[in-house]
Amino acid sequence: MIMMCLAIPAKIISVKEDEAQVDFGKGVLREVNVTLVSPQVGDYVLVHAGYAIQVLSEKEALETIRLWNEILEAEAKIQQK
């Protein structure tokens, strides 16, 4: 069996101690733990299992989001057939 782990880009909205509120897009806000990174408000991070695991450049984050949207759109077209 092949298992895959996903990390999703999100934008830091606010930081308070070891927690940050992030925006996954379209208004989906969540609290994540940021003890593994040192993000600032406005940074993009990769989030896996409730933890920010890496700070990304805006360019990297937006490209990853674009690719995810492309994959999701293709999946939706397949499901419609």
Q: How far apart are CA 19 and CA 29, in angstroms?
A: 13
Confidence check: pLDDT of 1 > 80: no
Task: State the chain's mean pLDDT as an integer.
Answer: 93
Q: Pick the residue with more confidence: 26 or 17? A: 17
Query: 68-80 pLDDT, tens per residue?
Result: 889 989 999 888 8
Is residue 3 in some structural domain?
Answer: no
Indicate whether 70 belongs to any domain: yes
Q: Report which residue type is found at 12.
A: I
pTM: 0.84
Please report whether residue 58 resides in a domain: yes
Domain count, the chain: 1
Closest CA to 58 of 45, 71, 47, 41: 45
Residue 61 located in a structural domain: yes
**5 pLDDT above the threshold of 90:** no
**Within-domain flag for 1:** no
Q: Which residue range forms the structural domain that includes residue 24? A: 8-80
Give the Cβ contact number of residue 44 at 10 Å: 24
CATH code for the domain of 54: 2.30.30.140
Residue 2 lies in a domain: no
